[in-house]
């Protein structure tokens, strides 16, 4: 089964209303790439304004709480994201796993809450540098999947993003062979854990220092269905060529 390419921009804690022009430019320039699904995940404050500025575009959150409501100061629930028109959310990004101490169980609960709210989910996994250097990257990532994959899900609404922590924002990228080996291992694990149909239907994105120069090679690696892009998603000039590279495959 052919999986559509998926290129998602994670704006992290960047952007104010002044950046909406850039988002409009990105969606305008990529809407004709029929074979590629494109989404942007800006800070919470820009989700509503971005949807208003680019009607019909896929806009999502970078995190959500696992509860639907409650006494969780500063948090945003999945139904709240759906309520303002978000269609997706990233969960388990390493900057939250590491910076906020999120466990696999917590990431799983967030993913399940998001799916229940009707959102699509991008579930991030990835190893630290020391684990890669010691040869344990695949075991580490498969254990993250074992602990954070929702119990039940529609494969078309759940994507995995493999993001080696040492590649995020550093300009370092794994070799294409290492990316293909990891993605192949992830797909095999998804088959064991969720069934062959789920593994076949789920998209596995690569993330970590993707840019216009390396996108074609990374996106063409085995079992890579798209990219989660941080720094290079902030401007149309850097992001649109990545989408174009996906469309050209
Ligand atoms: C990310 O944080 O999801 C990411 C991939 O960042 P960058 O592209 O900047 O490495």
Is the pLDDT assigned to residue 2 strictly greater than 70?
yes
Q: What are 135-170's pLDDT values in tens digits? A: 999 999 999 999 999 999 999 999 999 999 999 999
Cα–Cα distance measured from residue 229 to residue 38, given in angstroms and rounded to the nearest whole number: 11
- CB distance 210 to ligand 1 below 6 Å: yes
Question: Which residue owns the Cα nearest ligand 1 atom 3?
Answer: 230
Q: Residue 77 C-alpha to ligand 1 middle, in angstroms? A: 23
Q: What is the mean pLDDT of residues 200-216?
A: 98
Question: Which residue owns the Cα nearest ligand 1 atom 4?
Answer: 230
Q: What is the mean pLDDT of residues 132-136?
A: 97
H-run or E-run covering 5: strand 5-10
* Residue from 6, 8, 11, 12 whose mutation best tests the ligand 1 pocket (most atoms within 8 A of CB): 12
Q: What are 5-64's pLDDT values in tens digits? A: 999 999 999 999 999 999 999 999 998 888 999 999 999 999 999 999 999 999 999 999
Q: What is the mean pLDDT of residues 176-203?
A: 97
What is the per-residue pLDDT for 33?
A: 84
What is the per-residue pLDDT for 121?
A: 98
Q: What angle do CA 44, 28, 40 make, to 5 degrees?
A: 25
What is the per-residue pLDDT for 1?
A: 60
What is the per-residue pLDDT for 182?
A: 98
Answer yes or no: 183 catalytic. Answer: no
- CB distance 226 to ligand 1 below 6 Å: no
Q: Residue 123 C-alpha to ligand 1 middle, in angstroms? A: 14
- CB distance 10 to ligand 1 below 6 Å: yes
What is the per-residue pLDDT for 34?
A: 82
Question: Which residue owns the Cα nearest ligand 1 atom 7?
Answer: 230
The CA–CA distances, whole Å, from 37 to 69, 133, 177 equal: 30, 34, 25
Q: Round the average pLDDT of the chain to a whole number and report it.
A: 97
Cα–Cα distance measured from residue 214 to residue 212, given in angstroms and rounded to the nearest whole number: 6
Is the pLDDT assigned to residue 191 strictly greater than 90?
yes
- CB distance 169 to ligand 1 below 6 Å: yes
Answer yes or no: 163 catalytic. Answer: yes
Counting residues of the chain whose pLDDT is more than 90, the rounded percentage is 97
- CB distance 234 to ligand 1 below 6 Å: no
Cα–Cα distance measured from residue 200 to residue 214, given in angstroms and rounded to the nearest whole number: 26
User: pLDDT class for 180, splitting at 50, 70, 90?
Assistant: very high
- Structural domains in the chain, CATH included, are 5-247 (3.20.20.70)
């Amino acid at each position: 089964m052919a999986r559509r390419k998926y290129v998602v921009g994670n704006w992290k804690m960047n952007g104010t209303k002044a950046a909406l022009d850039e988002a409009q430019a990105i969606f305008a320039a990529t809407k004709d790439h029929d074979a590629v699904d494109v989404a942007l995940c800006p800070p919470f404050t820009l989700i509503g304004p971005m949807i208003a500025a680019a009607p019909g575009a896929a806009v999502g959150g970078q995190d959500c709480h696992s509860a639907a409501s409650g006494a969780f100061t500063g948090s945003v629930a999945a139904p709240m994201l759906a309520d303002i028109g978000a269609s997706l959310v990233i969960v388990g990004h390493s900057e939250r796993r590491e910076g906020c101490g999120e466990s696999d169980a917590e990431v799983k609960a967030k993913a399940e809450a998001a799916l229940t709210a009707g959102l699509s989910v991008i579930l991030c996994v990835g190893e630290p540098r020391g684990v890669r250097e010691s040869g344990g990257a695949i075991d580490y990532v498969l254990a993250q999947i074992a602990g954070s994959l929702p119990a039940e899900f529609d494969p078309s609404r759940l994507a995995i993003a493999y993001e080696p922590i040492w590649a995020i924002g550093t300009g370092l990228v794994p070799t294409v062979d290492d990316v293909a080996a990891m993605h192949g291992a992830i797909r095999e694990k998804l088959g064991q854990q969720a069934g062959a149909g789920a593994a076949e239907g789920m998209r596995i994105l690569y993330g970590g220092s993707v840019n216009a120069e390396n996108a074609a090679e990374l996106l063409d690696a085995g079992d890579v269905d798209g990219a989660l892009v941080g720094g290079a998603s902030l401007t149309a000039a850097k992001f649109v060529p990545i989408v174009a590279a996906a469309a050209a495959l």
